[in-house]
Structure 1
């Protein structure tokens, strides 16, 4: 058995009472050909292996066994003219499962307003931008029509806006690009994924200063993250989660992670956080982000 497969086999089907019921705000449900391309690129860039299944049924069995109630299904368009089809595909999967909270995406060179309005009218609950891969920064003016519609429809946006795991030279990420978006659209709920790594402290400062800014824990707070990138989750003190639990939420990046799904919650559960903090992290904050609270 490979190391990655052995790690995946550690997934414990016995849910922890502090975790259940949980909402995973960062899951990638996409067509198989796109998943294969993403995994191939990550393998080439970082040498990661991927032990997890990527079909909806198998994914949901793992998530349900862990205690996941719902998950945000996040697509992203790495080139023009695929977002419409991708958004429709995710929406169709949401029709078949009560677990799926469908998000949508758009490329900066698409008919941005038309694509996003169509997706929102079809039921998309928010937008996802993988900024370095899509080569679009949070403050790119091409996306203004999308942001204006997010405000109009009261839909949140989740950005990969940080430099991790391999984007420190990308001009499309970083706390200043994210801060510029927040300054321009303070009414839009916006999340930076991965705790803003590798600029976590600066992203926490942005969160503290803006009521509509969120962070997610995905990948960065895994107990196994140090095996895949140079980040120690213990560098973030408990006080960050206790003080900002209403705007920090659990996410996993599943199934495109090179470690076990269990490890995504394992490090957080190893901390001695208040019960109310865990309820926020694992469930209630995601509902706030989605506009349900």
Structure 2
């Protein structure tokens, strides 16, 4: 039977979990969110195909829905696409976390003058996770402006969710595993979380995770029918996911997804029918324990 959102609490309860921890959810200022949704509606140049938004709701309703699902900790991931935005977006995300106790204090940054001070200030204000989007931002992770930022985050042990895989559109010169590898070579203790398992360069980002013990990958949209139609995860890589059970974390992209939240969980559970079977212990690690360790939940 297809899993529905109403059935999600029973799903995690069956696993013996107290709920879910989702490292990859988005909250943005209302006007900016409307513009993002319009870009999805238009199947814009960074989207590439129709992408209807399932949860086109106001912020209060979206927060309430995560609560009903049993998402005990979620992030307010924002990302800047030009200079001068990151500080205000961080303010928004930290203010949301102050108002909503289940929201993990989140922040962002952009390669611009003063970025190191902005990141240090966000940490001082309690930020426990950062997000950047190299594809949307149009920058190379290896920019000299960011080197001290990576060093600060590595020293602080604060995870940063990084969209650096080339999906959902072909590589634009700012994405690809070589960009993150360049950062990790200089800062091997950085707690990086690769969004979307690095889609579509799954194998290459798994290589990096195997080389750098603090590099994680999130499940955001991977294995769903929507992603499998465009960038299927190769079955021969599943044994490597099993070996990295302690470094795969649940992500969803809520609310910007073209299907119900439950479908992400159902898609992960379907992996139990493949070889090697990613069993309930794997699901428990992905959906709770790894996120708990990363976010200090």
- The Cα RMSD (Å) is 2.1
State how 1:199-218 maps to structure 2 within 5 Å.
Answer: 199-218=201-220
Deviation readout 1:105-149 (Å, 9 max, x if unpaired): 112124111111111111111221111111122222221232122
Name the CA shift for 1:262/1:129 in 2 (closer, same or farther; >3 Å).
same
In structure 1, what is the Cα distance between the partners aligned to 2:36 and 2:236? 29
- Helix, strand or coil for the counterpart of 1:215? strand
- Is the alpha carbon distance of 1:236 and 1:252 closer, same or farther for their aligned partners in structure 2, counting shifts above 3 Å? farther
**Cα gap change, 1:37/1:243 in structure 2, threshold over 3 Å: closer, same or farther?**
same
2:101 maps to what in 1?
A: 98
Contact 2:8 2:262 in 1 (8 A): no
Tell me the SS of whatever aligns to 1:178: helix
Counterpart in the other structure of 2:5: 11
Q: How many pairs were matched up?
A: 282
Conservation of the 8 A alpha-carbon contact between 1:157 and 1:190: yes
CA distance in 2, matches of 1:161, 1:34: 22
Q: Distance in 2 between matches of 1:201 and 1:145?
A: 29
Q: 1:36 aligns with which of 20, 34, 37?
A: 34
Alignment of 1:286 with 2:291, yes or no, is yes
Give the drift of 1:53. 3.4
Aligned residue among 166, 178, 198 for 2:200? 198
Report the counterpart of residue 114 of structure 1 in structure 2.
Answer: 117
Question: Is there any run of 5+ residues in structure 2 with no aligned partner, and where?
Answer: 273-277
- Relative to structure 1, is the Cα distance of residues 282 and 226 closer, same or farther in structure 2, using a 3 angstrom cutoff? same
Spell out the pairing of 1:249-264 with structure 2 (5 A cutoff).
249-264=249-264
Residue matched to 2:172: 170
Residue in 1 that maps onto 2:247: 247
Alpha-carbon distance, 1:214 to partner? 0.4
Aligned to 2:151: 148
Task: Render the CA deviation track for 1:254-273: whole Å, top value 9, x for unaligned.
Answer: 10111111111111112223
Between the aligned partners of 1:208 and 1:54, the Cα distance in structure 2 is 39
Alignment of 1:274 onto 2:279: yes
Structure 1 partner of 2:182: 180
Superposition deviation, residue 51 in structure 1: 2.2
Secondary structure of 1:180's aligned partner: helix
SS at match of 1:27: coil
Q: 1: CA distance between counterparts of 2:31 and 2:54?
A: 17
Match runs of 1:60-139 below 5 Å = 60-139=63-142
Equivalent-residue separation in structure 2 for 1:80 and 1:223 (angstroms): 36
Report the Cα offset of residue 56 of structure 1. 3.2
Determine the C-alpha separation between the residues in 1 that align with 2:21 and 2:4.
21
Residue 4 of structure 1 is matched in structure 2 by: none
What's 1:265 paired with? 265
Distance in 1 (alpha carbons) for counterparts of 2:107 and 2:118 = 9
- Spell out, residue by residue over 1:185-238, the C-alpha distance to the aligned partner (whole angstroms, 9 max, x if none): 1111111100111100111111112101100000123243345xx122463654
